[in-house]
Amino acid sequence: MKIKQNINVAVDIALFGYKDNNLHILLVKQGFGQFKNQWVLPGGFLKDNEGLLDGAKRELLEETGVNISSLEQLYTFGDNINRDPRARVISVAYLATANPSKMKLKADTDSIDVAWFEYIKIPKLPFDHNQIIKTAHTRLKAKLNYQPIGFELLSAKFPFSDLENLYMTILQRKIDRRNFRKKILGFNFLEETGEIKKHGSGRPALLYKFNRRKYMESLKEGINFEIKFA
């Protein structure tokens, strides 16, 4: 049986960052079309001669100036055949994390602006981009149970409280801090730097850093980390 199709394939990227003690998502402002001047996820149509991952990396770089080597395929969005008013479009979404302080943003091609938005304050977005972000956040929360999180999100040296706050920010719940500390330190991918950081009149905090080799081993092999909540 001959099948006639007229379906376009797009890629969208949910890039999470952590700054000012809050989880953020990177959005771009569209410069053209029906949704001109509205914020959306970075992304666009796939070229005929490129793979999905290459297309996602290209769109992210073109629209935001951000070059990410590691993108994780998240989900394919297409059950709603009217998700894009321009045509029948299936979007393959990708998930990534990054440290905003290391990023130099530059809007180009279809975007006229690019900015980090606090996750809990994301506006109503065109297409189904709010759904994509929600799905990406659900995946990110799940990853906390089987992968270490933080190498791409935190500074090179940080107090342990920053790692605790990162997890609580992603989970949007308070954790059992004593249990969390014991388990994290048991994985041996954190090292004491011997340096101290003082915040105002508070107690000085010992700074830690990730042992990259051990961290990447844990990332590859996975961890079994049941997070207990307060």
Q: Identify the CATH number of the domain in which residue 203 sits.
A: 1.10.10.10
Confidence of residue 200 (pLDDT cuts 50, 70, 90): low
- pLDDT above 70: residue 166: yes
- pLDDT above 90: residue 2: no
* Judgement on whether residues 110 and 81 belong to the same structural domain of the protein: yes
Domain end call among 143, 168, 203: 143
* Judgement on whether residues 134 and 44 belong to the same structural domain of the protein: yes
* Judgement on whether residues 163 and 71 belong to the same structural domain of the protein: no
Nearest CA among 150, 164, 147 for reference residue 223? 147
For residue 63, what are the domain limits?
Answer: 8-143
CATH number at residue 36: 3.90.79.10
Confidence of residue 34 (pLDDT cuts 50, 70, 90): very high
**On the CB side of 185, how many CA atoms lie within 13 Å of its CA?**
10
Q: Compute how many other C-beta atoms are within 10 angstroms of the C-beta atom of residue 131.
A: 15
Domain end call among 116, 143, 170: 143
Residue 24 in any domain: the answer is yes
* Judgement on whether residues 32 and 129 belong to the same structural domain of the protein: yes
Number of domains into which the chain is organized: 2
| Per-residue DSSP letter, 17 | E
H or E stretch including 118? Answer: strand 111-118
Residue 119 in any domain: the answer is yes
**On the CB side of 219, how many CA atoms lie within 13 Å of its CA?**
13
- pLDDT above 80: residue 202: no
Length in residues, the chain: 230
